[in-house]
Amino acid sequence: MKNCKFLELSVLSISEKKARRIAFHPDATLLIGKNDTGKSSLIKTLYWTLGAEPGRVSQKWVSADARSALRFEVNQMRYTIVRSKRTFGIFDSDYRLLARFNSVTKELAPYLARMFDFDLQLRSNNDESSIAAPAYLYLPFYVDQDEGWGSPWGSFANLKQFSGYKQAVAEYHSGLKPNEYYIADNRVHQLKRAIEEPRNKRDTLEIIRGDMQERLNPGTFNIDLDAYKTEISELLAKCNALKIEEEKYRDRVTDCELRAANIEVQQEMLRRSREELSEDFEFAAGQPDSIVCPTCGHEHLNDFTNRFSIAVDEDRCLELVEALSQELVEIKKERDEAESLLNSSRASFEDAMLLLTKKQGEVSLHELIRNEGRREVGAIIESDLKRAQEQVEQVEGEIRKSTSERDRFMDRERRRELSARYRDLMERHLMKLNVNSVPESAYAKITSSISATGSDAPRLVLAYVYAILKMIREKNQHTFFPIVVDTVNQQEQDPENLKAMLRFIQSERPAGSQLIVGLVDSCGVDFDGTTVALTEKYSVLRKSEYGTVSDEVGPLLSKLFDQA
């Protein structure tokens, strides 16, 4: 099993000229501060940087327009992931850019799935199967203050894009259905979709065969020539209209390519400007506070203000590079959409031309059928029907084989053992958390909808989360992430129960796991790690840290957007 640990989070707001760096203890880190000191904003940024959208974010944090960089390690291999708006970059331990992404679902998710051994396949509401987004991997490890304490499996946004996701992720993370099950299940699903075409073709041919047997008798063919001419004229008009539409989409594609080329030229100009400004800044930094012109003898100031203006210009260039990069991404999306419409229009034109050709040949086909007789037509239909049936039978055999392979991973004895282990964990956890009035039916199954009322509810959720975490560690399958818990004191816990929750979070976590907790007060519970005190309200980012964080994150952003 791989083990992931967070090393350091850097957050940078270029617009506010503020930043913050938080280093994480390998064992436990407490973010302690009163309300509105930014605990939750920092905590939400952790998994946001890794591609999971938080359920709710304060408007003040949104307006900061922060970029972030998270240094982490997986089995002692160090990486840095950088996020700027919708763009991500992953760097190795020497800060070499490994990959760049503009889409979480299509690009980042498959990359992280390979990195973290995450093979869960989910089906969207339109029955399309794909690798689950990163948020579904992080769900067991994060309890969000806004969405996580009401019920498990809800700490991130946009989770309902996959139907029935809660049962799927509960079965996956607990081990009820291992990685191999979902790989095999996806194969079954693909085969069931693949069989639709030959099955529909077979059914259609059977209908045609029955219809032809009734209609293919001597003298039964009649063609309305006037109607035939009208159909030909309509098809010709449709072909002409589709050709005009195709030209329109082709022009859009060309326009997008020209605009993209123009932006790339601007990016190159900005890159050169930044290099020149950087050289100017380095030159100025090495000179005294005043410089005498060797030509005219005039004395020029080279104080901090003048050197700072060069640095500001360089920052502005970076912002422009980012903006142009985002604009280029949008143009490329617009071009892809136009090209898709062009291909669709071209396909419609080809279909119309094919239908026109068929229509134009109907009369000769009619004469051929009448002269050659019913036997040849029947033979053609029977041959096509036989091929379609063979295809159906072949795929049906593959479906049976793949279904059998999938069902091997649904061993009943193993599921009974895991279910018994879950119930045992829940009973012991509830006892330690002083939850005595919740009926067993509220948590009887791993896939139960965990819920309770009053102050029992958060403690029931905590008991469930830790039961799942222990089962993840025991099944030794995918990567184990840091446990991140935000704002433990929910539903006005009394002092005794709050201390019980804090002691439980510390002492009951799986061995070797990293803990990050946001609290107002640790209530004297020793977490054996590092405490980060957040004292200033509404300003978790600091002007004093902007320079050092910018020096660290700025070059990574440059690499990210220079290669866009």
Q: For residue range 445-469, what is the model confidence (pLDDT) as tens digits? A: 998 888 777 889 999 999 999 999 9
Q: What is the CATH number of the domain that holds 232?
A: 1.10.287
- Torsion, CA 229, CA 234, CA 236, CA 237, rounded to 10: 140
- Could you tell me if 310 and 261 lie in one domain? yes
**Residue that finishes a domain, picked among 348, 372, 396:** 372
Interval 152-171 mean pLDDT: 88
pLDDT at 346: 73
Interval 184-197 mean pLDDT: 87
Interval 340-353 mean pLDDT: 74
Cβ neighbour number for residue 334 with a 10 Å cutoff: 16
**Residue that finishes a domain, picked among 389, 409, 429:** 409
pLDDT at 406: 85
pLDDT at 99: 96
- Torsion, CA 45, CA 51, CA 57, CA 61, rounded to 10: 50
Q: Is 122's pLDDT higher than 80?
A: yes
Cβ neighbour number for residue 545 with a 10 Å cutoff: 16
| Helix residue spans in 294-411 (DSSP H) | 304-360, 362-372, 374-407
Sheet of 77-84, strands arranged across: 18-23, 4-13, 67-74, 77-84, 87-91, 97-101
Which phi-psi region, left, alpha or beta, contains residue 76 (left: φ > 0; alpha: ψ -120 to 50)?
left
For 477, the token pair is: 């399958």
Interval 103-123 mean pLDDT: 90
Q: What is the CATH number of the domain that holds 515?
A: 3.40.50.300
Q: How far is CA 149 from the centre of its chain?
A: 23
pLDDT tens by residue, 353-370: 677 666 655 555 455 445
Q: Is 85's pLDDT higher than 80?
A: yes
Adjacent-strand bridge partners of 90: 81, 99
State how far the Cα of 461 lies from the Cα of 469, in Å rounded to an integer. 12
Contact 452, 438 (CB under 8 A): yes
Q: Is 429's pLDDT higher than 80?
A: yes
State how far the Cα of 331 lies from the Cα of 430, in Å rounded to an integer. 54
Q: Is 23's pLDDT higher than 90?
A: yes
Q: Is 326's pLDDT higher than 90?
A: no
- Could you tell me if 225 and 367 lie in one domain? yes
Interval 206-217 mean pLDDT: 74
Residue 228: what residue type? Y
State how far the Cα of 16 lies from the Cα of 546, in Å rounded to an integer. 9
Higher local confidence (pLDDT), 550 or 206 = 550
Interval 494-504 mean pLDDT: 95
Q: Which of 88-92, 121-125, 409-413, 441-445 has the lowest mean pLDDT?
A: 121-125
Residue 353: what residue type? M
Contact 83, 560 (CB under 8 A): no
State how far the Cα of 288 lies from the Cα of 300, in Å rounded to an integer. 10
pLDDT tens by residue, 253-262: 788 888 888 8
Range among 177-191, 271-285, 294-308 rated most confident: 177-191
**Residue that finishes a domain, picked among 409, 432, 460:** 409
What percent of the chain stands above pLDDT 90? 45
Confidence of residue 327 (pLDDT cuts 50, 70, 90): confident
Contact 132, 153 (CB under 8 A): no
pLDDT at 220: 45
Confidence of residue 418 (pLDDT cuts 50, 70, 90): very high
Interval 268-292 mean pLDDT: 73
- Could you tell me if 418 and 545 lie in one domain? yes
pLDDT at 510: 94
- Could you tell me if 11 and 139 lie in one domain? yes
State how far the Cα of 231 lies from the Cα of 91, in Å rounded to an integer. 61
The residues near 139 (Cβ < 8 Å, ≥ 6 apart) are 152, 153, 155, 156, 169, 173
Interval 175-183 mean pLDDT: 83
pLDDT tens by residue, 532-562: 999 999 889 999 999 999 999 999 999 998 8
Grouping H, G, I as helix, E, B as strand and the rest as coil, residue 9 is strand
pLDDT tens by residue, 466-480: 999 999 999 877 899
Element of type H or E holding 428: helix 412-432
- Could you tell me if 173 and 25 lie in one domain? yes
pLDDT tens by residue, 140-159: 999 999 888 887 899 999 88
- Could you tell me if 14 and 103 lie in one domain? yes
- Could you tell me if 21 and 82 lie in one domain? yes
Contact 434, 459 (CB under 8 A): yes
Interval 287-296 mean pLDDT: 69
Confidence of residue 306 (pLDDT cuts 50, 70, 90): low
Domain membership of residue 319 as a residue range: 218-372
Q: What is the pTM of this model?
A: 0.73
Grouping H, G, I as helix, E, B as strand and the rest as coil, residue 30 is strand
pLDDT tens by residue, 217-232: 544 444 555 565 677 6
- Could you tell me if 383 and 336 lie in one domain? no
pLDDT at 478: 82
- Rounded alpha-carbon distances, angstroms, from residue 433 to 241, 299, 449: 71, 74, 19
- Could you tell me if 335 and 290 lie in one domain? yes
Number of domains forming the structure of the chain: 3
- Residues 422-450 as b/e (b if ≥16 CB within 10 A, e otherwise) read bbebbeebbebbbbeebeeebbeebbbeb
- Could you tell me if 241 and 153 lie in one domain? no
pLDDT at 362: 54
What percent of the chain stands above pLDDT 70? 86
pLDDT tens by residue, 29-54: 999 999 999 999 999 999 999 999 99
Higher local confidence (pLDDT), 282 or 272 = 272
Higher local confidence (pLDDT), 270 or 342 = 270
* DSSP annotation of 544: G
Interval 205-228 mean pLDDT: 64
Q: Is 120's pLDDT higher than 80?
A: yes
Contact 78, 71 (CB under 8 A): yes
Interval 402-429 mean pLDDT: 90
For 476, the token pair is: 């030794």
| Owner of token pair 């045992």 | 424
pLDDT at 227: 63
Contact 372, 248 (CB under 8 A): no
Q: Is 285's pLDDT higher than 70?
A: no
CA neighbor of 30 nearest in space, from 495, 541, 529:
529
pLDDT at 209: 82
pLDDT at 291: 67
Residue 94 phi, psi (nearest 5): -100, 15
- Could you tell me if 405 and 511 lie in one domain? no
**pLDDT averaged over every residue in the chain:** 85
pLDDT at 128: 73
- Could you tell me if 404 and 345 lie in one domain? no
Interval 60-89 mean pLDDT: 96
- The sign one gets for the Cα dihedral 316, 317, 322, 328 is positive
